Protein backbone atom coordinates (compact mmCIF):
# COMPACT_ATOMS: atom_id res chain seq x y z
CA UNK A 1 0.00 0.00 0.00
CA UNK A 2 1.17 3.53 -0.85
CA UNK A 3 0.11 6.89 0.53
CA UNK A 4 0.20 10.02 -1.61
CA UNK A 5 0.10 13.33 0.24
CA UNK A 6 -0.77 16.36 -1.85
CA UNK A 7 1.26 19.30 -0.54
CA UNK A 8 0.94 21.93 -3.23
CA UNK A 9 -1.53 24.38 -1.72
CA UNK A 10 -0.81 27.94 -0.66
CA UNK A 11 -3.17 28.14 2.31
CA UNK A 12 -4.09 31.74 1.53
CA UNK A 13 -6.95 31.77 4.06
CA UNK A 14 -4.34 31.40 6.82
CA UNK A 15 -2.62 34.68 5.99
CA UNK A 16 -0.75 36.35 7.66
CA UNK A 17 0.85 33.20 9.07
CA UNK A 18 0.71 31.30 5.79
CA UNK A 19 3.04 32.77 3.16
CA UNK A 20 4.41 31.82 -0.27
CA UNK A 21 7.59 30.35 1.22
CA UNK A 22 5.85 28.62 4.10
CA UNK A 23 2.19 27.72 3.41
CA UNK A 24 -0.25 26.31 5.92
CA UNK A 25 0.84 22.68 5.82
CA UNK A 26 4.41 23.64 6.79
CA UNK A 27 3.27 25.53 9.90
CA UNK A 28 2.60 24.36 13.47
CA UNK A 29 -1.01 25.50 13.54
CA UNK A 30 -2.84 22.70 15.36
CA UNK A 31 -0.05 21.43 17.68
CA UNK A 32 3.69 21.67 18.29
CA UNK A 33 4.18 19.70 15.07
CA UNK A 34 3.52 21.06 11.60
CA UNK A 35 0.33 19.97 9.89
CA UNK A 36 2.15 17.82 7.34
CA UNK A 37 4.15 16.13 10.09
CA UNK A 38 0.86 15.27 11.76
CA UNK A 39 -0.48 13.95 8.44
CA UNK A 40 2.51 11.66 7.96
CA UNK A 41 2.49 10.49 11.59
CA UNK A 42 -1.22 9.65 11.26
CA UNK A 43 -0.73 7.40 8.23
CA UNK A 44 2.54 5.71 9.28
CA UNK A 45 0.91 2.85 11.22
CA UNK A 46 -0.63 1.83 7.87
CA UNK A 47 2.11 2.73 5.39
CA UNK A 48 5.89 2.49 5.70
CA UNK A 49 7.84 5.73 5.08
CA UNK A 50 9.37 4.13 1.98
CA UNK A 51 5.87 4.00 0.47
CA UNK A 52 4.78 7.54 1.36
CA UNK A 53 5.01 9.97 -1.56
CA UNK A 54 4.75 13.75 -1.12
CA UNK A 55 3.81 15.80 -4.19
CA UNK A 56 4.85 19.44 -3.88
CA UNK A 57 6.32 22.45 -5.65
CA UNK A 58 10.00 23.28 -5.95
CA UNK A 59 9.69 26.18 -3.47
CA UNK A 60 8.75 23.86 -0.62
CA UNK A 61 10.74 20.69 -1.37
CA UNK A 62 13.73 21.61 0.79
CA UNK A 63 11.58 22.48 3.82
CA UNK A 64 9.65 19.23 3.42
CA UNK A 65 12.90 17.24 3.42
CA UNK A 66 13.91 18.98 6.64
CA UNK A 67 10.55 18.39 8.30
CA UNK A 68 10.19 14.78 7.13
CA UNK A 69 13.66 13.21 7.43
CA UNK A 70 12.25 9.65 7.48
CA UNK A 71 10.71 10.05 4.02
CA UNK A 72 13.24 9.09 1.30
CA UNK A 73 14.32 12.11 -0.73
CA UNK A 74 13.27 10.33 -3.93
CA UNK A 75 9.71 10.21 -2.54
CA UNK A 76 9.41 14.00 -2.62
CA UNK A 77 7.91 14.43 -6.10
CA UNK A 78 8.29 17.96 -7.45
CA UNK A 79 5.73 19.56 -9.74
CA UNK A 80 7.38 22.25 -11.89
CA UNK A 81 4.11 24.22 -11.93
CA UNK A 82 0.81 23.71 -10.14
CA UNK A 83 -1.82 22.03 -12.31
CA UNK A 84 -4.45 21.05 -9.70
CA UNK A 85 -5.15 17.59 -8.29
CA UNK A 86 -5.66 15.50 -11.45
CA UNK A 87 -2.08 16.03 -12.64
CA UNK A 88 -0.73 15.70 -9.10
CA UNK A 89 -2.44 12.34 -8.56
CA UNK A 90 -1.52 11.13 -12.05
CA UNK A 91 2.15 11.93 -11.47
CA UNK A 92 2.16 9.92 -8.24
CA UNK A 93 0.36 7.02 -9.91
CA UNK A 94 2.91 6.68 -12.74
CA UNK A 95 5.72 6.73 -10.16
CA UNK A 96 4.05 3.86 -8.28
CA UNK A 97 3.46 1.89 -11.48
CA UNK A 98 7.08 2.39 -12.52
CA UNK A 99 8.43 1.33 -9.14
CA UNK A 100 6.41 -1.80 -8.35
CA UNK A 101 3.90 -2.37 -11.16
CA UNK A 102 0.69 -1.55 -9.27
CA UNK A 103 -0.54 -0.91 -5.75
CA UNK A 104 -3.40 0.61 -3.81
CA UNK A 105 -2.78 4.31 -3.26
CA UNK A 106 -4.34 6.35 -0.47
CA UNK A 107 -4.53 9.98 -1.57
CA UNK A 108 -4.65 12.57 1.21
CA UNK A 109 -4.54 16.35 1.47
CA UNK A 110 -1.59 17.57 3.52
CA UNK A 111 -3.50 19.97 5.75
CA UNK A 112 -6.43 18.32 7.50
CA UNK A 113 -6.97 17.63 11.19
CA UNK A 114 -8.32 14.29 12.44
CA UNK A 115 -9.70 13.90 15.96
CA UNK A 116 -9.77 10.07 15.99
CA UNK A 117 -6.72 8.73 14.10
CA UNK A 118 -7.47 5.09 14.99
CA UNK A 119 -10.93 5.25 13.42
CA UNK A 120 -9.46 7.17 10.48
CA UNK A 121 -7.01 4.33 9.76
CA UNK A 122 -9.77 1.73 10.15
CA UNK A 123 -11.83 3.52 7.49
CA UNK A 124 -8.83 3.74 5.15
CA UNK A 125 -8.14 0.02 5.52
CA UNK A 126 -11.74 -0.72 4.60
CA UNK A 127 -11.48 1.66 1.64
CA UNK A 128 -8.35 -0.14 0.43
CA UNK A 129 -10.18 -3.48 0.55
CA UNK A 130 -13.13 -1.97 -1.34
CA UNK A 131 -10.84 -0.44 -3.97
CA UNK A 132 -9.29 -3.85 -4.68
CA UNK A 133 -12.54 -5.82 -4.51
CA UNK A 134 -14.55 -3.45 -6.72
CA UNK A 135 -11.66 -2.23 -8.88
CA UNK A 136 -13.21 1.18 -8.35
CA UNK A 137 -12.68 4.70 -7.08
CA UNK A 138 -13.37 5.00 -3.36
CA UNK A 139 -13.78 8.29 -1.52
CA UNK A 140 -14.40 9.11 2.11
CA UNK A 141 -17.57 11.03 2.90
CA UNK A 142 -17.90 12.89 6.18
CA UNK A 143 -21.29 12.80 7.86
CA UNK A 144 -22.32 16.48 7.92
CA UNK A 145 -22.92 18.22 11.23
CA UNK A 146 -24.35 21.33 9.56
CA UNK A 147 -25.30 22.62 6.08
CA UNK A 148 -21.81 23.89 5.31
CA UNK A 149 -21.47 25.87 2.06
CA UNK A 150 -17.67 25.65 1.91
CA UNK A 151 -17.53 21.94 1.07
CA UNK A 152 -18.54 19.85 -1.91
CA UNK A 153 -21.05 17.04 -1.29
CA UNK A 154 -21.29 13.36 -2.22
CA UNK A 155 -24.73 11.80 -2.68
CA UNK A 156 -24.82 8.23 -1.49
CA UNK A 157 -26.81 5.68 -3.45
CA UNK A 158 -27.37 1.95 -2.99
CA UNK A 159 -25.26 0.00 -0.51
CA UNK A 160 -23.01 -2.82 -1.67
CA UNK A 161 -22.73 -4.04 1.92
CA UNK A 162 -19.98 -3.88 4.47
CA UNK A 163 -16.32 -4.26 3.56
CA UNK A 164 -13.74 -4.30 6.34
CA UNK A 165 -16.49 -3.42 8.81
CA UNK A 166 -17.56 -0.23 7.00
CA UNK A 167 -20.64 0.25 4.85
CA UNK A 168 -19.81 1.09 1.23
CA UNK A 169 -22.28 3.02 -0.92
CA UNK A 170 -22.33 3.73 -4.62
CA UNK A 171 -21.99 7.43 -5.36
CA UNK A 172 -25.12 8.74 -7.07
CA UNK A 173 -23.82 12.27 -7.67
CA UNK A 174 -21.01 14.66 -6.78
CA UNK A 175 -22.06 18.25 -6.11
CA UNK A 176 -20.04 21.44 -6.08
CA UNK A 177 -20.16 23.79 -3.08
CA UNK A 178 -23.87 24.62 -2.71
CA UNK A 179 -25.68 27.73 -1.61
CA UNK A 180 -27.13 27.70 1.91
CA UNK A 181 -30.67 26.63 0.96
CA UNK A 182 -29.46 23.70 -1.12
CA UNK A 183 -26.91 22.66 1.53
CA UNK A 184 -29.75 22.55 4.07
CA UNK A 185 -31.75 20.25 1.77
CA UNK A 186 -28.71 18.00 1.31
CA UNK A 187 -28.24 17.59 5.06
CA UNK A 188 -31.94 17.12 5.76
CA UNK A 189 -32.18 14.31 3.18
CA UNK A 190 -29.63 12.18 5.04
CA UNK A 191 -28.17 11.00 1.72
CA UNK A 192 -25.35 13.52 1.39
CA UNK A 193 -21.86 13.64 2.85
CA UNK A 194 -19.13 16.25 2.85
CA UNK A 195 -16.50 15.55 0.22
CA UNK A 196 -13.31 15.15 2.26
CA UNK A 197 -10.94 15.14 -0.72
CA UNK A 198 -9.55 11.75 0.39
CA UNK A 199 -9.43 8.95 -2.17
CA UNK A 200 -8.40 5.30 -2.31
CA UNK A 201 -7.84 3.30 -5.51
CA UNK A 202 -5.32 1.18 -7.36
CA UNK A 203 -2.78 3.16 -9.36
CA UNK A 204 -3.78 1.26 -12.49
CA UNK A 205 -7.46 2.06 -11.91
CA UNK A 206 -7.04 5.82 -11.63
CA UNK A 207 -4.69 5.90 -14.61
CA UNK A 208 -7.31 4.06 -16.69
CA UNK A 209 -9.99 6.56 -15.61
CA UNK A 210 -7.68 9.45 -16.51
CA UNK A 211 -7.18 7.83 -19.92
CA UNK A 212 -10.95 7.72 -20.45
CA UNK A 213 -11.82 11.20 -19.24
CA UNK A 214 -8.63 13.29 -19.54
CA UNK A 215 -6.86 11.90 -22.64
CA UNK A 216 -4.42 14.82 -22.99
CA UNK A 217 -3.23 14.36 -19.41
CA UNK A 218 -3.05 10.59 -19.93
CA UNK A 219 -0.81 11.02 -22.99
CA UNK A 220 1.43 13.35 -21.01
CA UNK A 221 1.66 10.93 -18.11
CA UNK A 222 2.67 8.19 -20.53
CA UNK A 223 5.55 10.35 -21.76
CA UNK A 224 6.57 11.12 -18.19
CA UNK A 225 6.48 7.43 -17.30
CA UNK A 226 8.87 6.63 -20.14
CA UNK A 227 11.29 9.29 -18.87
CA UNK A 228 11.28 8.33 -15.19
CA UNK A 229 14.70 7.28 -13.99
CA UNK A 230 16.49 8.74 -17.01
CA UNK A 231 18.60 11.86 -17.40
CA UNK A 232 15.68 13.50 -19.22
CA UNK A 233 13.14 13.05 -16.40
CA UNK A 234 13.20 16.58 -14.99
CA UNK A 235 13.09 18.22 -18.42
CA UNK A 236 10.25 16.00 -19.64
CA UNK A 237 8.14 16.54 -16.51
CA UNK A 238 8.55 20.32 -16.86
CA UNK A 239 7.60 20.26 -20.55
CA UNK A 240 4.57 18.02 -20.08
CA UNK A 241 3.26 19.85 -17.02
CA UNK A 242 3.30 23.23 -18.71
CA UNK A 243 1.07 21.88 -21.45
CA UNK A 244 -1.62 20.62 -19.09
CA UNK A 245 -4.86 22.37 -18.16
CA UNK A 246 -5.52 22.92 -14.46
CA UNK A 247 -8.19 20.32 -13.63
CA UNK A 248 -9.30 18.87 -10.31
CA UNK A 249 -9.66 15.12 -9.94
CA UNK A 250 -13.30 15.66 -8.88
CA UNK A 251 -14.27 17.60 -12.01
CA UNK A 252 -11.99 15.77 -14.43
CA UNK A 253 -12.62 12.17 -13.33
CA UNK A 254 -14.86 11.56 -10.32
CA UNK A 255 -17.94 13.34 -11.70
CA UNK A 256 -17.70 11.31 -14.94
CA UNK A 257 -16.58 7.87 -13.76
CA UNK A 258 -19.12 5.06 -13.21
CA UNK A 259 -17.46 2.86 -10.60
CA UNK A 260 -17.35 5.39 -7.73
CA UNK A 261 -18.03 4.51 -4.08
CA UNK A 262 -18.17 6.36 -0.79
CA UNK A 263 -17.59 5.18 2.76
CA UNK A 264 -19.53 7.42 5.19
CA UNK A 265 -17.34 8.20 8.18
CA UNK A 266 -17.05 10.25 11.33
CA UNK A 267 -13.54 10.50 12.81
CA UNK A 268 -13.37 14.12 13.92
CA UNK A 269 -12.46 15.48 10.49
CA UNK A 270 -11.73 19.18 10.00
CA UNK A 271 -10.23 20.60 6.84
CA UNK A 272 -8.67 23.46 8.86
CA UNK A 273 -9.55 25.66 5.92
CA UNK A 274 -9.73 28.99 7.75
CA UNK A 275 -9.16 30.73 11.06
CA UNK A 276 -12.82 30.02 11.86
CA UNK A 277 -12.20 26.30 11.36
CA UNK A 278 -9.20 26.49 13.69
CA UNK A 279 -11.35 28.16 16.36
CA UNK A 280 -13.76 25.22 16.01
CA UNK A 281 -11.12 22.69 17.07
CA UNK A 282 -9.17 24.85 19.55
CA UNK A 283 -9.47 24.64 23.33
CA UNK A 284 -11.67 27.45 24.65
CA UNK A 285 -12.31 29.15 27.98
CA UNK A 286 -15.73 29.45 29.58
CA UNK A 287 -16.50 32.46 27.35
CA UNK A 288 -15.71 30.60 24.14
CA UNK A 289 -12.37 32.36 23.62
CA UNK A 290 -9.46 30.47 22.05
CA UNK A 291 -5.88 31.72 22.52
CA UNK A 292 -3.64 29.00 21.02
CA UNK A 293 -0.54 31.17 20.70
CA UNK A 294 0.80 33.79 23.12
CA UNK A 295 -1.05 35.60 25.91
CA UNK A 296 -4.20 37.71 25.84
CA UNK A 297 -6.22 39.69 28.36
CA UNK A 298 -9.88 39.44 27.41
CA UNK A 299 -12.35 41.54 29.37
CA UNK A 300 -16.05 41.11 28.63
CA UNK A 301 -15.07 39.30 25.42
CA UNK A 302 -16.77 36.23 23.94
CA UNK A 303 -16.11 33.73 21.15
CA UNK A 304 -12.83 35.35 20.13
CA UNK A 305 -9.79 33.75 18.49
CA UNK A 306 -6.39 35.30 19.27
CA UNK A 307 -3.01 34.23 17.90
CA UNK A 308 -0.22 36.59 18.97
CA UNK A 309 2.99 34.86 20.10
CA UNK A 310 5.10 38.02 20.46
CA UNK A 311 2.71 40.76 21.60
CA UNK A 312 0.17 41.03 24.37
CA UNK A 313 -3.35 41.41 23.02
CA UNK A 314 -5.90 43.13 25.27
CA UNK A 315 -9.57 43.23 24.21
CA UNK A 316 -12.55 44.79 25.95
CA UNK A 317 -16.21 44.36 25.11
CA UNK A 318 -15.60 42.34 21.94
CA UNK A 319 -17.29 39.24 20.58
CA UNK A 320 -16.95 37.04 17.52
CA UNK A 321 -13.61 38.46 16.43
CA UNK A 322 -10.38 36.96 15.08
CA UNK A 323 -6.99 38.57 15.78
CA UNK A 324 -3.81 37.17 14.24
CA UNK A 325 -0.48 38.93 14.73
CA UNK A 326 2.85 38.17 13.03
CA UNK A 327 6.13 40.08 12.86
CA UNK A 328 5.05 42.24 9.91
CA UNK A 329 1.25 42.05 9.75
CA UNK A 330 -1.93 42.17 11.83
CA UNK A 331 -5.25 40.62 10.84
CA UNK A 332 -8.50 41.65 12.52
CA UNK A 333 -11.54 39.84 11.18
CA UNK A 334 -15.12 39.21 12.19
CA UNK A 335 -15.75 35.54 12.95
CA UNK A 336 -17.59 33.93 10.11
CA UNK A 337 -15.71 36.02 7.54
CA UNK A 338 -12.28 34.38 7.60
CA UNK A 339 -12.92 32.72 4.22
CA UNK A 340 -12.55 36.26 2.86
CA UNK A 341 -8.92 36.50 4.01
CA UNK A 342 -8.07 35.27 0.52
CA UNK A 343 -9.34 38.63 -0.76
CA UNK A 344 -6.61 40.34 1.28
CA UNK A 345 -4.00 38.12 -0.35
CA UNK A 346 -5.44 38.91 -3.78
CA UNK A 347 -5.30 42.64 -2.99
CA UNK A 348 -1.66 42.35 -1.87
CA UNK A 349 -0.81 40.56 -5.12
CA UNK A 350 -2.59 43.23 -7.17
CA UNK A 351 -0.69 45.97 -5.30
CA UNK A 352 2.59 44.04 -5.77
CA UNK A 353 3.25 44.05 -2.03
CA UNK A 354 5.26 40.88 -2.34
CA UNK A 355 6.99 41.38 1.02
CA UNK A 356 3.68 40.45 2.69
CA UNK A 357 3.00 37.37 0.56
Mean pLDDT by 10 residues, the chain (357 residues): 92 88 89 93 97 96 96 96 96 97 96 95 98 97 93 96 96 94 95 97 98 98 97 96 95 96 96 90 95 91 95 96 95 94 94 93
337 CB contacts (<8 Å, ≥6 apart)? none
304 CB contacts (<8 Å, ≥6 apart)? 288, 289, 290, 298, 315, 318, 319, 320, 321, 322, 323, 335
Domain end point (choices 223, 250, 270)? 270
For the CA atoms of 278, 265, 179, 89, the dihedral, rounded to the nearest 10 degrees, stands at: 80
Domain co-membership, 76 together with 212:
yes
Q: What domain count does the chain have?
A: 2
Domain co-membership, 302 together with 208:
no
Domain end point (choices 218, 239, 270)? 270
For residue 162, give Cα distances in angstroms to 98, 104, 136, 263, 296: 33, 19, 15, 10, 49
Domain co-membership, 31 together with 154:
yes
Domain co-membership, 345 together with 216:
no
Domain co-membership, 233 together with 290:
no
Domain co-membership, 111 together with 247:
yes
Domain end point (choices 270, 292, 319)? 270
CA angle 173, 175, 180 (to 5 degrees): 135
Residues in the chain: 357
Distance in angstroms (rounded) separating the CA atoms of residues 263 and 236: 37
Domain co-membership, 255 together with 279:
no
Domain that holds residue 114: 2-270
Domain co-membership, 159 together with 284:
no
Domain co-membership, 40 together with 113:
yes
The CATH number of the domain holding residue 138 is 3.90.550.10
Amino acid sequence: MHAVIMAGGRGTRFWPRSREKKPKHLLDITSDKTIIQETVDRIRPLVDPENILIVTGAKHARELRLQLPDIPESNILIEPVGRNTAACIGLAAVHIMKRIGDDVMIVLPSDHAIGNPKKFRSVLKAAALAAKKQDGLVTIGIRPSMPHTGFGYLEGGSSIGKIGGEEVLRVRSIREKPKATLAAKFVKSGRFYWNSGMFVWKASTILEEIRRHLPALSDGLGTISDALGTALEKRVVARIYRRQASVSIDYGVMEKAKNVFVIPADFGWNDVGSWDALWDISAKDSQGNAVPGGFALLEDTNNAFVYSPSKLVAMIGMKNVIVVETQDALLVCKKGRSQDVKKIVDALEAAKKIQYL
